[in-house]
Chain A
Amino acid sequence: MDSLLWGVRLIAILVLIWGVAGTIVQGLNGAGPSAEAWRDLVVAGIAQGAMYGLIALGYSMVYGVLGFINFAHGEVFMAGAMSGFFVANYLWQVHFWDNYFVLAILLVLLTSVLTSMLVAVIVERVAYRPLRASPRLVPLITSIGISFFIQYSFAGLFGVAVKNYPPAPDSLRNRIGFLGLEIEGTKLAVIVVALISMGLLYLFVEKTRTGRSIRAVAEDKEIAALMGINVDRTIVASFAVGGVMAGVAGTLWSLLFRGVAFHTGFLPGIKAFTAAVLGGIGNLPGAMVGGLFLGTFEGVGSQLVLAGLGIPAVSQLKDVVAFTALVLVLIFRPTGLFGERLSSEDRA
């Protein structure tokens, strides 16, 4: 069994090296993408990854306190993006959007964050709290049901058509110089806002009273209660904070891709879950780094590895690359990049 695993690891490394070498040879022959194209790929990848990281935090926080994967979290993100659309659309119609863009986007962000937070908290109250004493498989399956429930409720209420956010003003979409690089303004904004949010979340969890109780509940609920911590309220707080991060991601996503539909949460949700596992589930810095890694790898990796293997239309394969990255990381580090060894009791 062990030798089989080592064989798989060896083959994985060889394929990676072969692909990268092939791409480099192509590049030297002038056949690959230009330097500017590579730069854009990296920037787009980081922007994408920053959003995965924000969503991944919600998966990791809930896993931390309750020990199961909340598969409805992708829908929490979608709900935020969708509610933001209605506000954005209204502001566009009354010409507020183009005249006071910063104020408008802040309103959209506020709407998105509040909606996501509310959805996350309601789901906890209605669906998960009654199942607190059940085996962890039960809330897991429930979360899949909730995910479909939210998706199709939104489809039924607001229609299945893709809703397009109004475009960001040209000043933001133009390339701007940053550290000597020409970067599209929207992507830069996405990256900066995402990193600031992650930083704030980290400070919240490490430095505040509520953050400390979240960590205490994640480690030992019984003893946390013994310290006088209200465990139920702390669990709600974890869902709320995860919802806030998903809401921020919802606005950033809409700013970057503009289109939002009832199924928008599915793939980013699964990717963010992948990112959380990549980083080591339950570990918050791990979720952030996992997201950035996954986004960058799916954007750049497809070009870097697959193109060198002579595979056509590599950009179509980025989902394949993303999930291959998950499989690879798990083959080499079963607990994820920053995961701590789980005791058998901790495993869901």
Chain B
Amino acid sequence: MSEPTPIDQPVLELRNVHTHYGPVHVLKEVSLEIRPGQIVCLLGGNASGKTTTLKTILGMVSPTSGEVVIGGRIVNGLPTAEIVKLGVSMVPENRRLFNRMTVKENLEIGAYLRSGDTSEDLDRILKLFPVLEQRLTQRAGTLSGGEQQMVAVGRALMAQPKLLLMDEPSMGLAPILVTQNFEIIQQINQAGTTVLMVEQNARLALSIADYGYVLQTGRIVLNDTAQKLATNPEMRRAYLGEVD
């Protein structure tokens, strides 16, 4: 057997991860694996542990046991900043922009850990979201919801992440914007970024994902390719709102 080459080494791996909030056992034996270039979605209802999974990956909460492995390196207990340096960035739920800063500052702060000139990245983001060009000097808090989502995605991309985490990208957006947003995610992925997406809207998420995991009260109950999940009868009943 040959050593795994970096190319098929998973970008991210969780091995039997348990996470507690105080006495509350939130994640139970969660294991998942994301390979380079994939879009993976993490599905599940409210309080199923989706956001906690993202927080555990980023070191915002520490797993009680198990291993979080990023690019072959165990990162348990590392501060968030160190994990971000390894090439992971997140578009948080509800965007959470720095509302009192300008759009340009919001984008630039995404590249906080990178030294050197970031103007090329800024240009790249503006090519992806041309609307933001005229908004650069405006305070982020004054933008519309759709524009704020663009800034949030742009901010995460400024770090040139290998792995982009997206927490509920469809949350709080008008349906037309949701569709646009998912097209953007596909574009970003085609440009070479691996994506892990947490989403309530299972049908939409599965339509662009390669692989899916389903969380239920902190445990992974189903995992399969997106195509198979979309046709899985249990899945259709519980999460896709279809009746046979």
**Chain A residues near B (Cβ < 8 Å):** 209, 212-213, 215-216, 219-220, 222-223, 225-230
The contact sample of 14 A-B pairs, CB cut-off 8 A, is A212-B101, A215-B100, A220-B98, A223-B98, A225-B81, A226-B80, A226-B89, A227-B84, A227-B112, A227-B155, A227-B159, A228-B81, A229-B81, A229-B109
Contact partner of A227 (CB less than 8 A), chosen from B60, B99, B110, is B110
Q: How far is the CB of B119 from chain A (nearest CB, A)?
A: 16
Are B100 and A226 in touch, CB under 8 angstroms?
no
Interfacial chain B residues near A220, Cβ < 8 Å? 96, 98
Contact, CB under 8 Å: B58 / A226: yes
Which residues of chain B are near A228, meaning CB under 8 Å? 80-81, 84-85, 112-113, 159
Which residues from chain B contact A226 at a C-beta distance below 8 Å? 58, 60, 80, 84, 89-90, 92
A215-B101, A216-B101, A228-B159 as given contacts; A223 in contact with B96, CB under 8 Å: yes
Among A215, A222, A229, contact of B112 (Cβ-Cβ < 8 Å): A229
* CB within 8 Å for A225 and B80 given contacts A212-B105, A213-B112, A216-B109: yes
Q: Which residue of A lies closest to B81 (CB)?
A: A228
B60:A223 contact, CB within 8 angstroms: no
Cβ contacts under 8 Å, B84 to chain A? 226-228
Instruction: For the complex, count residues of B whose C-beta is within 8 A of A.
Output: 23
Is there an interface contact between A225 and B60, defined as CB atoms closer than 8 Å?
A: yes
B110 nearest CB neighbor, chain A only: A227
Minimal Cβ-Cβ distance residue in A for B82: A228
Q: Residues of A contacting B109 with CB < 8 Å?
A: 212, 216, 227, 229
Minimum distance in angstroms from B2 CB to a CB of chain A: 35
Q: Given the complex, which residues of B lie within 8 Å of A222, measured CB to CB?
A: 60, 96
Interface string of B26-69 (1 = CB under 8 A from A): 00000000000000000000000000000000101000000000
CB nearest neighbor in B for A206 = B105
Interchain CA distance A223-B152 in the complex, whole Å: 11
A226 to B92 Cα, complex, angstroms: 9
Smallest Cβ-Cβ distance to B90: which chain A residue: A226
CA distance A228 to B78 in the complex (A): 12
CA distance A174 to B90 in the complex (A): 62
- A220–B100 Cα distance when bound, in Å, is 11
Q: Is the pair A219, B100 in contact by a Cβ cutoff of 8 Å? A: yes
Give min CB distance, A320 to chain B, whole Å. Answer: 36
Further pairs besides A213-B112, A230-B81: 17, Cβ < 8 Å: A212-B108, A215-B100, A216-B109, A222-B96, A223-B92, A223-B96, A223-B98, A225-B81, A226-B84, A227-B84, A227-B109, A227-B113, A228-B81, A228-B84, A228-B113, A228-B159, A230-B79
Chain A positions within 8 Å of B81 at CB level: 225, 228-230
B residues 100-145 near A (Cβ < 8 Å) are 100-101, 105, 108-110, 112-113
Tell me how far the C-beta of B200 lies from the nearest C-beta in chain A, rounded to whole angstroms. Answer: 21
Q: How far is the CA of A219 from the CA of B140 in the complex (A)?
A: 12
